[in-house]
């Protein structure tokens, strides 16, 4: 069993979760994840990350939670390439009941859900409402990038490849 820490894994897979844009006063998402989840990383059996992008963080989770199945949900079909023995990819919108139902049918429960998806408040609320009931007792539901709810994302979304797949991608500001 690997004893790699979350920061080594982040460097290895080049995830953006430890970078300055995801930090405040030198504390990144990774610091929080390690603080909240590190002590029970061997007990965690099922992790979902909404928003796959390039798959880097899914690879981190696969190595960090060595006893877990890792699920990724993304609207962009290109994300299927990161699928492997313990990484399962579902393609669809995080606010789509059919997509979420298929995901729940396969996973049954999640010990940890990380929403790094569309960053659109309606989507975040919809997926939370559908997924919260299947978070295991003592599990976590984490919402990343909440600052996006308070700013105009018109220019930012041009660099988010999956945004073009959203039915209504004009709800940015």
- Single out the catalytic residue among 22, 31, 90, 119: 119
For residue 8, give both structure tokens.
């080594």
22 is catalytic: no
Gap between the Cα atoms of 89 and 83, Å rounded: 6
Q: Mention every residue, 6+ apart, whose C-beta is less than 8 A from residue 116.
A: 49, 50, 51, 53, 57, 144, 145
Distances (CA, A) of 19 to 11, 26, 56, 164: 10, 9, 13, 25
DSSP strand pairing (69-74 vs 46-50):
parallel
Name the residues annotated as catalytic.
Answer: 119
């Amino acid at each position: 069993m690997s004893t790699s820490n979350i920061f080594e894994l982040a460097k290895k897979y080049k995830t953006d979760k430890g970078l300055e844009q995801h930090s405040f006063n030198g504390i990144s998402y990774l610091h929080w994840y390690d603080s909240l989840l590190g002590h029970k990383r061997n007990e965690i059996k099922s992790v979902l990350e909404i928003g796959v992008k390039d798959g880097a963080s899914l690879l981190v989770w696969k190595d960090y939670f060595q006893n877990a199945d890792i699920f990724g949900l993304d609207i962009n079909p290109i994300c299927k390439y990161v699928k492997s023995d313990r990484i399962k990819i579902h393609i669809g919108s995080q606010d789509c009941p059919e997509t979420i139902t298929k995901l729940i049918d396969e996973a049954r429960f999640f010990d940890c859900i990380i929403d790094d998806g569309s960053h659109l408040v309606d989507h975040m609320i919809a997926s939370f409402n559908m997924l919260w009931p299947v978070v295991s007792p003592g599990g976590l539901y984490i919402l990343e990038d909440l600052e996006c709810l308070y700013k105009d994302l018109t220019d930012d979304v041009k660099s988010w490849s999956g945004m073009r797949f959203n039915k209504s991608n004009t709800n940015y500001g």
